[in-house]
Structures are given as structure tokens and as C-alpha cells.
Homo-oligomer: A and B are copies of this chain.
Amino acid sequence: MKVKDIGEFGLIKRITKRAKDKGVVVGIGDDAAVLKLGGKYFVVTTDTLVENDHFSMKWFTAEQVGMKAIEINASDVGSMGAKPKYALVSLVLKKDTSVSFVDGLYKGMWMACKKYGIEIVGGNITHGREIVVDIDMIGEVARENLKLRSTAKAGDFILVSGDLGKSTAGLKLFLNKVRGHSKVKKAHVEPKAKFHKVKGFLKYINSMIDVSDGLASEVTRICEQSNVGALIFRDNVPLADDTKHAAHVLKEDALDYALFGGEDFEVVYTVSEKNLSRVKGFLVGQITKKKGVRIYSRGKEKKLTKHGYDHFKK
């Protein structure tokens, strides 16, 4: 659930900000909404895959589409500190979609659900001109584990749970029909949520988001919602050797993939200085009182102007 996209439309914001029900703990704008149901806290989210926009059947198998659909939603739920529990599956299929495609799709979803202990409790199938896989996921969270985007504090350090840019490198390899690089390509067609990496030290995290649209974009979201700014340490952004190698072959900068690419599904989180020794992860920046997101590299600071997936696509 991306506030960036939703923010494009003023009315949506006006309407959804009206949420006044006592059960609505966090409304639109975070990775997931938070509801208090029957005295417990639940997060609900929805994310959609559209054929040729979020996956191409040229390089995805049906199973991989199914797995990705679950992983991206599990990542949204998990990056709130919650445990994914239930999923609803809405499919738009084409008139000529084969049963074997649907079987593969569900097999992929089931495999991913099994990993997390998620139950598919319902769904809907209808017809259209392109395949759309929309997943709604409900997770449960203890109040003290709930992590938001809006609670970063000036001075917090910004950490990321793992190396970035590999999924984007994989996509670029597919688009440019480069052979080999199977590990990098796999990161694109079989993305995995990574929120389990921060489970052990959730209580020390002040704010959190998953990386679906590139580090620059996610840090910007945290800053906008927390009413702070940030400095990203460009040279600290973790890159895997095979991502760098793929970028080299593609004559591009792997750091651009990490900053402006997407779908790594690592988590970005902020931690106060005093708790820094209690957490793991790669330190990639710091939250500042000064608004705006800037990038620091070798003594120079640049304002972030272009960010996120759109930039990358260009």
C-alpha cells in the first residue's frame, strides 16, 4: 500500500482521512492499516500484480507470480511488525487463461503461504483483458510490536536489513536479454519478504518500512510521514557482488538500482543512537531535523530530486 501513489489524488486523501471509527488505529498511508478488532490489533493490506506491469510471463512462471503476490503482501504486513495470518485472493483472468496457469498460480501462493502459516480464506475470480492478482492480507500484531512509518525521530540512524538492487538488476538482465546471472535473475522472479531479519530486535526500532520501491523512495516516505528529513550515506548502501557484476555488464551503476530500483523487500528501519548496538543491519543514513532527503557521498551532499521506481523505469 503506497501513499505516494494515493497522494496523487487529492480527494482520496480527503476522504480517507475521515476515518474516525474507534477501531481504526492507523488508516491509509502506512504499509498496512491497523485495526483494533475484538481487543486485539490487526493489520490489513492489499497489493496488486498486473501482468506486464508487475510481472512478465516471458520470464515468470505461474508459480513465481503466485509466490510474488503473497511475498509482497507478507512484506507489507511484516514490516508493520505483524505476523501475516489470512489472505483473500482476487483474480482477474483472461478468457483464454489456462487452468494450468491458475493451478500454478495457486501452487505458488500456497507454497508462500505455507512458509508463513497464512491461510487463504476466500477470494473471487472474474474475467478481463489482462491478468490481475490482487491479494488482501490480514496480520496480527501485539501493540508493542507495531512499527509505523511515521515515528522516526531526528538523530535516529537509518538501517537496512540486507543488500539492495538485486531484483532491479535481474529485471534489467531480462529486459536486455542478457544470458546467465541466474542468481540475480532469481531475485527478480522469486522475491522474498525479509522482515524476519528484524524480529529479534523489534523493540529497539522507532520506525520501519519495506523496500518495494527503492531505498530513496522508502526513506522519503518515512521522512514525509515523520515530519523529518534524512541524509543517506550513498557509499554505505549494501550491494551484493553479483548485483555489481550484473550492473557492470549492463554498463549501469548498481547503486542506482539500490536507490531507485525496487522490490528487494528488505526492511528499512530507524534506531536511536543509544540502541544502535542492540540491532543488526547496514547503517545507511541518519534522520535529520532538516527536512528533505539528501544523499551524501565523498564529502558532497546532494538533494534527492528523482527517486523511486518511476525514475528507474525511464
Contacting residues, chain B, for A45 (C-beta < 8 A): 88, 122
Contacting residues, chain B, for A21 (C-beta < 8 A): 85-86, 117, 119
- From known contacts A37-B40, A106-B9, infer whether A86 and B122 are also in contact, taking CB-CB under 8 Å: no
- From known contacts A46-B136, A122-B28, infer whether A11 and B54 are also in contact, taking CB-CB under 8 Å: no
- Are A121 and B15 touching (Cβ within 8 A)? no
Choose, from A124-132, A255-263, A271-279, the stretch at the interface: A124-132
- Are A42 and B37 touching (Cβ within 8 A)? yes
Question: Considering the complex, which residues of chain A in the window 50-74 have a beta carbon less than 8 Å from any beta carbon of chain B?
Answer: 50-51, 53-54
- Are A44 and B134 touching (Cβ within 8 A)? no
Q: A184 CA to B24 CA in the complex, in Å? A: 38
- Smallest CB-CB separation from A100: which chain B residue? B11
Q: Does A138 contact B (CB under 8 A)?
A: yes
Question: Considering the complex, which residues of chain A in the window 1-17 have a beta carbon less than 8 Å from any beta carbon of chain B?
Answer: 1-2, 5-6, 8-12, 15-16
Q: Does A38 contact B (CB under 8 A)?
A: yes
Q: Does A120 contact B (CB under 8 A)?
A: yes
- Smallest CB-CB separation from A5: which chain B residue? B125
Q: A44 CA to B44 CA in the complex, in Å? A: 11
Copy total for this chain: 2
Contacting residues, chain B, for A23 (C-beta < 8 A): 85-86
Interface string of A245-286 (1 = CB under 8 A from B): 000000000000000000000000000000000000000000
Question: Considering the complex, which residues of chain A in the window 100-138 have a beta carbon less than 8 Å from any beta carbon of chain B?
Answer: 102-103, 106-107, 109-110, 117, 119-130, 132, 134, 136, 138
- Smallest CB-CB separation from A42: which chain B residue? B37
Contacting residues, chain B, for A90 (C-beta < 8 A): 46-48, 90, 134, 136
| A55 smallest CB distance to B (angstroms) | 12
Most buried by B among A21, A92, A99, A134: A134
Q: Does A200 contact B (CB under 8 A)?
A: no
Q: Give the residue of B102, B130, B134 whose beta carbon is less than 8 angstroms from that of A134.
A: B134
| A129 smallest CB distance to B (angstroms) | 5
Q: Give the residue of B38, B53, B134 whose beta carbon is less than 8 angstroms from that of A48.
A: B134
Give me 17 A-to-B residue pairs in the complex whose CB atoms sit less than 8 angstroms apart, sorted by A's number.
A9-B106, A19-B120, A21-B86, A21-B117, A27-B119, A28-B120, A28-B122, A33-B122, A38-B39, A44-B86, A44-B121, A46-B89, A48-B92, A48-B124, A48-B126, A48-B134, A128-B132
